[in-house]
Amino acid sequence: MLQDLVSRRVHRVLLFVTDDFRGLEEVMGKLFACAPHQLCLLHLQRNLERGLCREAVRRAREALFRLRRSREREEGRGWLGELAAVVASEKPALARQLEAKADSYLAFLDYPEEVRVHRCKHQPGGEPGCRHRPDAAGAGGILPSLPCLEVNPFIQVEGLQH
């Protein structure tokens, strides 16, 4: 998939959103050195739901809910710390991983609120706020929805300023 982007002459990527697939970040760094990497919060939530007790899952969901709605990086860092504390009670190694990868879980907070509400995952219906039209994706469309089309000029202007 990444090689396909390169072959289509994509040079600038605003943000990659992926799961924590081993080796992917290294390849992205080689092909798109300046592209930030956001680890998918939905994948994180699903993984936690499979590995924690019911009460810990409830508390983890609350921390993730607050994290997704954070207005700035420091607020998000606090909620990620809260999440790590919940996870640490049952899975200390996983909690350490969360803390070590904090920047990748918080990358979306570097973008303005107007852009964040339109961030989309690679799968339909992923993150809250993702608006996906399956017909656009199947038809070879570049943007998955009208809201993404509306925010695209803003993203383009921001990219030109950097």
- For 105-137, the pLDDT digits (tens) are 999 999 888 777 665 444 444 444 343 334 434
Residue 87 has a pLDDT of 96
Residue 15 has a pLDDT of 84
Question: In this model, does residue 48 exceed pLDDT 80?
Answer: yes
Question: In this model, does residue 38 exceed pLDDT 70?
Answer: yes
Q: Which runs of consecutive H residues, i.e. helices, occur in 70-122?
A: 73-88, 92-100, 102-105, 113-116
Is residue 145 very low, low, confident or very high in pLDDT (cuts 50, 70, 90)? low
Distances (CA, A) of 134 to 119, 139, 141: 16, 8, 10
Residue 144 has a pLDDT of 55
- The mean per-residue pLDDT over the stretch 81-94 comes to 95
Residue 146 has a pLDDT of 59
pTM for the structure as a whole: 0.69
Instruction: Scan for tokens 């695209």, then name that residue.
Output: 152
- The mean per-residue pLDDT over the stretch 9-31 comes to 85
Residue 4 has a pLDDT of 82
Alpha carbon 98 to chain centroid, angstroms:
14
Query: Which of helix, strand or coil describes residue 39?
Result: strand
Question: In this model, does residue 71 exceed pLDDT 50?
Answer: yes
Find which of 16-25, 85-94, 148-157 is predicted with most confidence, using mean pLDDT: 85-94
Is residue 53 very low, low, confident or very high in pLDDT (cuts 50, 70, 90)? very high
Structure tokens belonging to residue 54: 């019911």
